[in-house]
Amino acid sequence: MNELLRYFSRELPAINDFLETEADQLNGLVKEVAKHIIGSGGKRIRPMLTLLFARAHGYEKDDYHAIACSLELLHSATLLHDDYLDDAELRRGKEASHLKFGRTETILAGDALLALANEMGARYGNARLSWLLAKGIMETAVGEIEEIQFSKNPELDRERYMEIIIGKTARLIECACRCGAALAGATPEEEDLAGEYGLNLGIAFQLVDDALDYASPTSETGKPEGGDLKEGKVTLPLILLMEDSNEAESRELLDALKTTDLEEERFEAILGRVKEGRYSEKTREEAAMYVEKAKRCLDGFTPGEEVEVLKQAADFVLTRTK
Amino acid sequence: MNELLRYFSRELPAINDFLETEADQLNGLVKEVAKHIIGSGGKRIRPMLTLLFARAHGYEKDDYHAIACSLELLHSATLLHDDYLDDAELRRGKEASHLKFGRTETILAGDALLALANEMGARYGNARLSWLLAKGIMETAVGEIEEIQFSKNPELDRERYMEIIIGKTARLIECACRCGAALAGATPEEEDLAGEYGLNLGIAFQLVDDALDYASPTSETGKPEGGDLKEGKVTLPLILLMEDSNEAESRELLDALKTTDLEEERFEAILGRVKEGRYSEKTREEAAMYVEKAKRCLDGFTPGEEVEVLKQAADFVLTRTK
């Protein structure tokens, strides 16, 4: 992981500075909200992927920040609206924006960040970049809606679950990778490979996120263990448990998921069954398949620092504990 | 006004069909919200302006709907978020979306319409169009924020008021006109003239809107007379009244505006002073100046049906009663 860490520590400061400078230019009513969500410690995986694919395709200029950071801002915009609509109390271990700043400030900050992201992507006068970004914004909006619409359905199946995580997470990561390739003027085939890497990485990323929810102490993720279950959100660990349950167990589980205020005892019992069946680990194993798929997309690339970092990034997605 | 009416009745059906078809493809959770706001009888002034300026610059193709309608959808998106944040009860005389469909549906429908608008503008692979749209979205977001931030400040002055109405209304109308010119491949100078027409028309449009609020029965506008005053929103008629008041009257007016639940008697007294001073009419006179400015932008255009309609549209903005 040496190359990955070295690359990130070399490139992240400029990305963070750029995000900070852009946020500083927002209107006073929403600036603090934007800075709060941007500063709350995201992994900057989207801007880094744009940069990595631009460089991997031979792009040498230093004007990549606007398009790279646009995807981070778009992501932040959806977090603001999602947390508000979910009545979430925490985001990355900090007080959620709508509680700290108010609903008007939070919704408008989401709108402003989305608009800013879009404007940043348009700065290049590159129709392909604008198109990719517009498509990414559209897919993210649809994914956000489908998540809210379906993810709390106790009868969610694996197919719909995959649709949800692709829409809410993987498409934007795909978009980040495609934007890097497009900025460098890659061929459509090269851009497609970058996109496929991103799509698979994004799926793995969300699978691991959903696995961590059942297997990681609060202090690491900033979220309480079993938080998804408590919210009635169905993710792969629960779907796997459901698939392995007999009829009586299924009925009991469905019933528990439909209960809005789940008692501690039943909650712990379900957590226990998820642990016993190793469903969090099995979710990670599923993620590992997607990580392999992502890495295979890099096979045809000329070896170099960026390709090495992209491989290590894929592995890191799998091994991260928060 | 014959040309205007003939042109609108010829072109509006296709624009409305296009909007309907696009809205029909949205996700089920937000589709009805989108159709409700789109179907609530907007004037479609933005799409018509895009079409008119495209044709005025010699554009003959029929693929203008996506870019023209994108601005209508963007406008609808801001209405959804604004009405929710304002706790508005009515929109164009109908029940506001958040009351009819719920807050989650309404906020997400706004996000989806914004994303769709952006995607529609990117369909042409025309970097200039994407840039104009991105700028329009950004300016509208800023305008929306500034309106919420400042328009209920009793001490709002004329300069800030102009900034607000430019941001919340005129910039998007400018954008609609520029997009038409850009679609037709107009020169930068031609696009600037189209934009200047739009900016002035947009200012006039909002001034008349603010005048109507003090001078039009509910049945025509769908909004109760003096609605802005009731909400504590300061617009030009009140600013003019303030400018003409002596110190004691000013104090009384400021005090009334700061009162959240204004008693009927004081409310009627202020309405009476606005009527007596003809401040609604004076606001219209101000609008007339901007209409003249807008029309002068058309001086260099080759005469033709579209230029005639654009002139009549400018006059119509001034004479409309709802």
Greatest extent of chain B over all pairs of C-alpha atoms, in Å: 62
Sign, CA dihedral B182-B183-B184-B185, equals positive
Inform me whether the pLDDT recorded for B98 exceeds 90.
Answer: no
In chain B, which residues have their Cβ closer than 8 Å to the Cβ of A114? 111, 114, 137, 141
Question: Of all helices (H) and strands (E), which one includes residue B254?
Answer: helix B247-258
Cβ count near B210 (within 10 Å): 24
CB contact under 8 A, A114 and B111: yes
Among B103, B119, B138, select the one facing A135 at the smallest CB separation.
B119
Interface test with B, best of A27, A70, A82 (most B CBs within 10 A): A27
Identify the pLDDT of residue A224: 66
Task: Say which residue the tokens 């025309």 belong to.
Answer: B126
pLDDT at B224: 66
Contact partners, residue B120, CB within 8 Å, separation at least 6: B22, B66, B67, B69, B70, B73
pLDDT of residue A262: 79
What gap in Å lies between CA A163 and CA A208, rounded to an integer? 16
DSSP-derived secondary structure letter, A215: T
Between β-strands B94-95 and B90-91, what pairing exists: parallel, antiparallel or unpaired? antiparallel
Residue A107 is encoded by which pair of tokens?
């919704």
Q: Per-residue pLDDT averaged across B74-92, rounded?
A: 82
Reduced to 3 states (helix: H, G, I; strand: E, B; else coil), residue B205 is helix
Residue B204 confidence (pLDDT) above 80: yes
Q: B6 in the Ramachandran plot: left (φ > 0), alpha (ψ -120 to 50) or beta? A: alpha
Q: What is the CA radius of gyration of chain A?
A: 20
Structure tokens at B259: 């009162």
B145 touches chain A (CB under 8 A): yes
Kindly report the average pLDDT of chain B as a whole number. Answer: 89
CA distance B204 to A94: 46
Instruction: Give the model's pLDDT for residue B40.
Output: 79
- Identify the weakest region by mean pLDDT among A208-217, B218-227, B235-244: B218-227
Q: Which domains does chain B have, with CATH numbers?
A: 2-319 (1.10.600.10)
Q: Which residues of B touch A30 (CB under 8 A)?
A: 145
**CB distance B145–A118 less than 8 Å?**
no
- DSSP for residue B144: H
Confidence of residue B193 (pLDDT cuts 50, 70, 90): very high
With beta carbons less than 8 A apart as the criterion, state whether A313 and A201 touch: yes
What residues in chain A have per-residue pLDDT under 70?
A: 1, 90-92, 216-224
B133: which residues sit within 8 A by CB, 6+ positions away? Answer: A122, B67, B70, B71, B74, B117, B118, B121, B122, B175, B179
**Which residues of chain A have a CB within 8 Å of the CB of B116?**
138, 141
ipTM: 0.83
Q: Which residue has the higher pLDDT, A85 or B316?
A: B316
> Distance between CA atoms of B313 and B8, rounded to whole angstroms?
10
Query: Residue A90: which of A82, A233, A215 has the closest Cα?
Result: A82
Q: Please list, residue by residue across A38-70, b when 16 or more beta carbons sit within 10 angstroms of its beta carbon and e when fewer do.
A: bebebbbbbbbbbbbbbbbbebeeeebbbbbbb
B70-80: average pLDDT: 91
Q: Considering only alpha carbons, which residue of chain B is nearest residue A120?
A: B134
- Nearest CB among A104, A112, A145 relative to B141 is that of A112
pLDDT of the residue at A95: 78
Q: Which two tokens stand for residue B269?
A: 């007294």
Contacts of A178 (CB under 8 A, 6+ apart): A53, A132, A191, A194, A195, A198
Report the alpha-carbon distance of residue B56 to residue B12 in Å, rounded: 17
